[in-house]
Structure 1
Amino acid sequence: MDSFALISNQIFNGFSVASIFLLAALGLALSFGLMRVINMAHGEMLMLGGYFAFLTMQIIPGGMGLLVALPVAFIGAAATGGLLQTTLISRLAKRPLDTLLATWGVSLILQQASRDIFGAIGVEVQAPTWLDGGIQITEGIFAGVSLPATRLFIIAVAIFVLIGLTLIFRHTRIGLLIRAVNQDRMMAAATGIEVKRADLIIFCLGSGIAGLAGVVLAILGPVTPSVGQSYIVPAFLVVVMGGLGSIAGTTIAALMLGLFSALAQIYVDVSMAQVLLLVFVIIFIQFRPQGVIAQKSRALDV
């Protein structure tokens, strides 16, 4: 394989990595932008999505199982996130440090519970046969480039989620209410908008998207109790770099970090690529502390 094909393959891999980063980070961006809450248990929503996919595909094996697993994981993770928000986060919303510590404790509890139920080694999710192939380019300047169907599926899921969020926020009443709360929380409450309801909806939505990330990760490797922790740090980096609360900024940041990580692995190993990724984010924030896109909102003023 020549260098051009190698770089082209890594660029494609970068887009698939960016898709995973985006799915993992969107929930954090939404919850922090609206509620100023740092959810340390967000990675466990991703983990739960993987386990929901495993259980679903035990009941419905084959290609249809994966398609059913996506809504099941979304609903299951969203319901878990809603339970967490109503029982814990809503009571600690005005105490950010307590919220951070409490959700970290929930993270540890969920990890241990998954070890007790599924074991510490992890469970395998068998990808359907229609994801075994891919697109092989054998002629032209892109000869040697391989586009696995699994990676194409992950990118398609991320695009579908972005389109869905855009339609919700721009063309539905609940989207309008959420945008109002995000712009000015106190004024929205003064006009009669149920701010707590908006918080619950956005937290459930973010947790459900993390559950979808767990499904796509499950077809790439085993689902383990600590799988969410592997992606929570990159997710935080994406949110910080994208601009707190900005979906467009989060998308651009995920693309930048995914491509940077994939291209760096051409020259260095995975561990060094992660170090370089962190250095890249630190340097970027030094020159643009507001992130890729500065979100105009009074939610962060107080």
Structure 2
Amino acid sequence: MDTLLTQLPVGLAIGAVLLLAALGLNLTFGQMGVINMAHGEFIMVGAYTAYVLNTWLSPTPALILALPAAFAVTGALGWLLELGLIRHFYGRPLDTLLLTFGIGMILQQAARDIFGAPNVDVPTPDWLTGGITLPGDIRLHHSRLFILALALIAVAALTHHLHHTRQGRQTRAVLHNRDLAAITGINTRRVDATTFVIGSGLAGIAGVALTLTGPTGPTLGTNYIVDAFLVVVIGGLGHLRGTVLAAFALGILNATVEAWSDASLAKLIVFTAIVALLQARPQGLLTTKTRALA
């Protein structure tokens, strides 16, 4: 119990990062069936957006401006990718996997050409350094608390969008039954494009958050893309609440197991637990009821 309480803040921080990385995939993979392997590179682009702003501004305004800027930059990249390529491969998930994998490799090489192969550091604002020590020697770092708050705000904003805006209700209609939504007059192509933009923009915000946890490099996103897909699959395709539960459960499990073993063994144990869970519930923790015909 003491180990669990000590590792709980670490697990919540890991879960918050995974949640930010998985929110965009929850939309693009859950609604559109697009396996976007370039999502990790969009995270990397968001991190480099924060790095560029830090070269022009001091850390505090750079961080604040980096959040909307990264959303705009990666959202624009997502729009261009969907408009130029993805929309021609709907209903062909394996083709989108290969296509976006190639796009990701191109983005990685572009980052090396522009910023160089070595990792770069993004300064952390002074108000995010240090932390709070609770009874029981539980340490809460300000940067981790900020990432956790950022993840919860992103979930709240996405929930409000899906349930209280016209565009969000159209997105849910397309998720439940694409053909019926099209018959009722919803422009499903426009909904898909908007969804892809939002999902890509959320990846950029995740990249900004990751600059607070370590260095930024061309392969930054590849360290999180697999775990982000696992979060979406475990939580249930297209289910936002399931994604939240899966992200924090995976983060806490990973941090707790690592406290008792090394990183490699912890990964093995976590993946074994995931396989066992998916054997018992292949549809994930939660499922979205739809009106689509089987």
TM-score computed with the length of structure 2 as normaliser: 0.97
Report the CA distance between 1:7 and its aligned residue.
3.1
Look up the match of 1:275: 268
Look up the match of 1:81: 78
2:97 is the counterpart of 1:100: yes
2:146 is the counterpart of 1:153: yes
The gaps in structure 2 that reach 5 residues or longer are none
Look up the match of 2:211: 218
Look up the match of 1:63: 60
Report the CA distance between 1:120 and its aligned residue.
1.1
Report the CA distance between 1:121 and its aligned residue.
1.0
Asked if 1 retains the 8 angstrom alpha-carbon contact of 2:33 and 2:91, the reply is: no
TM-score computed with the length of structure 1 as normaliser: 0.94
Asked if 1 retains the 8 angstrom alpha-carbon contact of 2:78 and 2:200, the reply is: yes
Look up the match of 2:34: 37
User: Which letter does structure 2 place at the counterpart of 1:20?
Assistant: V
- Give the secondary structure class of the aligned counterpart of 1:223: coil
2:286 is the counterpart of 1:293: yes
| Structure 2: distance between partners of 1:298 and 1:193 | 16
| Structure 1: distance between partners of 2:291 and 2:278 | 21
Report the CA distance between 1:297 and its aligned residue.
2.5
Asked if 2 retains the 8 angstrom alpha-carbon contact of 1:189 and 1:195, the reply is: yes
User: Which letter does structure 2 place at the counterpart of 1:146?
Assistant: R
Report the CA distance between 1:298 and its aligned residue.
4.9
- Give the secondary structure class of the aligned counterpart of 1:67: helix
Look up the match of 1:166: 159
User: Which letter does structure 1 place at the counterpart of 2:70?
Assistant: A
User: Which letter does structure 1 place at the counterpart of 2:259?
Assistant: I
Asked if 2 retains the 8 angstrom alpha-carbon contact of 1:185 and 1:298, the reply is: no
Instruction: Write the deviation string for residues 221-263 of structure 1: whole angstroms up to 9, x where unpaired.
Output: 1111111000001011111111111111111111110110000
| Structure 1: distance between partners of 2:113 and 2:291 | 44
| Structure 2: distance between partners of 1:88 and 1:283 | 36
| Structure 1: distance between partners of 2:174 and 2:68 | 27
Look up the match of 1:52: 49
Q: CA-atom RMSD, angstroms?
A: 1.3
Asked if 2 retains the 8 angstrom alpha-carbon contact of 1:41 and 1:104, the reply is: yes
Asked if 1 retains the 8 angstrom alpha-carbon contact of 2:71 and 2:204, the reply is: yes
User: Which letter does structure 2 place at the counterpart of 1:212?
Assistant: I
| Structure 1: distance between partners of 2:4 and 2:257 | 10
Look up the match of 1:193: 186
2:117 is the counterpart of 1:124: no
| Structure 1: distance between partners of 2:105 and 2:188 | 29
User: Which letter does structure 2 place at the counterpart of 1:259?
Assistant: I
The gaps in structure 1 that reach 5 residues or longer are none
Pair 1:152–1:294, CA change in 2 (3 A): same
